[in-house]
Amino acid sequence: LLGTLSVRLSTIDSPSIDRSPWKEIDYLMISKSYFENGYRFLYPEIDWPAQEPRYTAMEFPLVPYTAALSYGIFGYSAFSARLLPAIAWLITALYAFLLGRRECGRLPGLVACLTAAVLPLHHPFGRLLFSEPVVIALSIAAVFHFARWHAVGLRRDLLITLATFSLAIALKLTPLYLLLPLSWVALRSRLPQRDDGGVSLPPTFSALTSTARCIVPLTLAALILPIAWYTWAWHLANEF
């Protein structure tokens, strides 16, 4: 991890050579506006020519806002702008190990961590200012903590699951697919265990209903933040 992190940090200010930089340019504009206009989280603003106020309806602006906060610490630079994606990549690799070790053993966990760390080193999702690196890190964290909550029962893991799942959906709606692995984690904990460590299928009706009673409240709670933010984004789009 330290070796691959050093490689990523050494190339953190390298420009992208594909067609994806337009998204980073938008995020850079929004983060710079936050930095220069008082960190008003609810009012993400672009700086291309438009009638003021230039507020923009967008996904939950956690990424550009965090980049703006880093400008206040490290100054406005490629390093401070791209620090969050680098941290998100590191968290992804660590949780790949934790989840892999939990589900398959230590060696598969190490392989998962190595794969997440080095394939590929030059990929823009580990370097450019996108939401995707953070979404991936949050998604893996949500699955891991949900699985550990079912095994250990710590309320902290449930709260982390709720927070990471909710933030992932607020950043991008696509992480709703996490309902599939989360539902499986909840279901398997309610199935009889076989001698070989597996679970007995097919599931009973009571196991399915118990799983639904677990997943539905979690999903509804996780949707509060995305619904609230996208309602506000709709207001920005129509009022400004």
Position 43 scores a pLDDT of 92
Tell me the torsion sign for CA atoms 107, 108, 111, 113: negative
CB 133 within 8 A of CB 169: no
pLDDT, tens digit (0-9, with 9 covering 90-100), for 179-223: 999 999 999 888 877 766 667 778 888 889 999 999 999 999 999
CA distance 234 to 208: 36
Does the pLDDT value for residue 77 go beyond 90?
A: no
Residue 162 — pLDDT band, cuts 50, 70, 90?
very high
Lowest mean pLDDT among 109-123, 158-172, 206-220: 109-123
CA 121 to chain centre: 19
Does the pLDDT value for residue 229 go beyond 90?
A: yes
Of the chain, the percentage scoring pLDDT greater than 90 comes to 53
CA distance 63 to 129: 8
Contacts (Cβ under 8 Å, ≥6 apart) of 234: 57
